[in-house]
Amino acid sequence: MATIKLKFRPSTVQGKAGTLCYQLCHRQENRQITTDMRIFPEWWNETKRELVAVPGNERVLTAYRKRAEKEMRDIREIIRELDCSGETYTLSEILNRYRSLPSESGFLYYMKKEMEALWENGQYGTSRNYRRALNSFSTFLDGNDIPFSSLDSALACRYEAWLWQQKVARNSSSFYMRILRAVYNKAVKQGIAVQTFPFREVYTGVARTSKRAVDEETILKLQRIDLSDSPALALSRDMFVFSYCARGMAFVDMAYLKKENVDMLLAVGGGLLSSRWIAASYRRAKNVEGLLSFPDRIEEQEKKRPGRFAVCIGFLFCFTMLELPYVHLMKLVFLMIFQYFMVLYTWTDLEQRVIFDRMLIPFAVIGLISIPLLDRVLTDHLMAAAVGGVVFLALAVLTKGGIGGGDIKLVAALGLWLGSDMLMTVVIAGIVLGGMAALIMLATGKRKKGDYFAYGPYFTISALLFTLL
């Protein structure tokens, strides 16, 4: 049976690091496998044949120990298989089998595994970027893997020069370098490699380039082209326009797009479009005295709104998709439309204490359309809208403006969507929530007795809660 030992071979030059190697013995024959692991004499205990920790070498030593244990374990497994075969073998056969094993200590091998892991985790874009960098670097190396210790500053500089010789743009070269650096740094964190900062002398920045973009008019012209005679071209055009509207979504991401991903797209799109809709409404209303409560805050609110609106809509859509996975598609669509408008009204009422007619009218029209499509009782929903509107109009008169015109129209529109029973429940809940909020604000000094108080957000929040729960 063959045996294996870890040995240290000192350098012939005084003060230089020596080399770790594996010594194989079999039938009075000795062979050595030299590694690229370099250590100093004081790091080695010859008596115990093991690595010794000294101040400053702990990290390197941990990586070397893990690697040596792994490689010696692989060699012992080869020896065990040969022994079990019952046939005579030589050290050369052991060495040949060992060298044919995938080089798990190699940089390209490690990068390939990282790329595959990213793909399995659904990070397709990042995985594709890793593949591009891997293919480029592998071509430079003529397909030969290298140990991490060989990836030094000189090699990185040669690779950069090679890229520029291939007419690769500076930003593309930097892109490859950043990916390789990220992979290398991850291997360092895992104790697989020793940090030598091989990419410190190559360019990893982002150079400014002139912006190139397709103007909106060109996209509109493209949409108007009649491609009815060529379904393939029509599909290609539609995919391109969809990618454009989705802020440059890659084709492969569209190909792997699933139902559960649509809510996030709708959230992002809804957040951006709604922010523009609200901003345009504010600009028109700015000229109407007294319509907006805080006209000086418009610009500040505009900066924060898109992202926050998208997050809010995204949360609602995700919750809906998870809680109602088997609901009929038409009901799901109308529910999401309802959620969208509820968030929209909540936003404008909290920001500027206003609910715009131009936002209420489409909501009311869609609600009216939904009644027959969802098999609801038309008379009940029409009565709910009429009675709700009249009751709140009377309350507005009695409270001398305590109930705003926007609240009256909102309740009437909600009646078209919810019907009498649900509307009554939502209104009562909204009044209770609003009353509690008003008391808290009075107690904390944020509102004074007689100040205007918006009930609209509490009606919309109540409607959202009851339709979801």
231-255 residue pLDDT tens: 888 888 888 887 877 667 777 777 7
Pairing of strands 3-9, 18-26: antiparallel
DSSP state of 148: G
Average pLDDT over residues 187-204: 87
Burial of 464 (0-12, 13-18, 19+ CB in 10 A): middle
pLDDT band at 269 (very low <50, low <70, confident <90, very high): low
Pairing of strands 44-45, 18-26: unpaired
Per-range mean pLDDT, top range of 305-309, 375-379, 464-468: 375-379
pLDDT of residue 287: 76
Least confident of 56-65, 245-254, 359-368, 372-381: 245-254
**CA 305, CA 301: separation in Å to the nearest integer?**
6
pLDDT band at 260 (very low <50, low <70, confident <90, very high): low
pLDDT band at 262 (very low <50, low <70, confident <90, very high): low
pLDDT of residue 224: 81
pLDDT of residue 109: 86
pLDDT of residue 131: 92
Average pLDDT over residues 16-24: 88
Answer yes or no: is pLDDT of 454 > 70.
no
**315 against 335, higher pLDDT:** 335
**365 against 283, higher pLDDT:** 365
pLDDT of residue 16: 81
pLDDT band at 416 (very low <50, low <70, confident <90, very high): very high
Answer yes or no: is pLDDT of 312 > 70.
yes
The closest of 75, 76, 53 to 64, measured between CA atoms, is 53
Residue pair 89/82 in contact by the 8 Å Cβ criterion: yes
pLDDT band at 402 (very low <50, low <70, confident <90, very high): low
- 50 pairs with which residues across the strands? 45
Radius of gyration of the chain (CA): 35
Q: Which residue has the tokens 């995938």?
A: 102
The answer for 28, left when phi > 0, alpha when psi is -120 to 50, beta otherwise, is left
pLDDT band at 284 (very low <50, low <70, confident <90, very high): confident
The closest of 4, 177, 170 to 76, measured between CA atoms, is 4
**CA 171, CA 419: separation in Å to the nearest integer?**
59
**324 against 345, higher pLDDT:** 345
Least confident of 35-39, 235-239, 267-271: 267-271
Residue pair 79/94 in contact by the 8 Å Cβ criterion: yes
- Which 3 state secondary structure label does DSSP give 34? strand
Average pLDDT over residues 304-324: 77
Answer yes or no: is pLDDT of 208 > 80.
no
**H or E element in which residue 31 lies:** strand 29-39
Answer yes or no: is pLDDT of 149 > 90.
no
pLDDT of residue 451: 59
**CA 143, CA 137: separation in Å to the nearest integer?**
9
The closest of 125, 244, 223 to 179, measured between CA atoms, is 125
Is 0.75 surpassed by the pTM of this model?
no
Average pLDDT over residues 212-217: 75
pLDDT of residue 101: 65
Domain boundaries of the chain, sorted by first residue: 3-100, 107-189, 213-255, 258-468
pLDDT band at 450 (very low <50, low <70, confident <90, very high): low
Average pLDDT over residues 29-54: 86
CA 94 to chain CA centroid, nearest Å: 47
Answer yes or no: is pLDDT of 272 > 80.
no
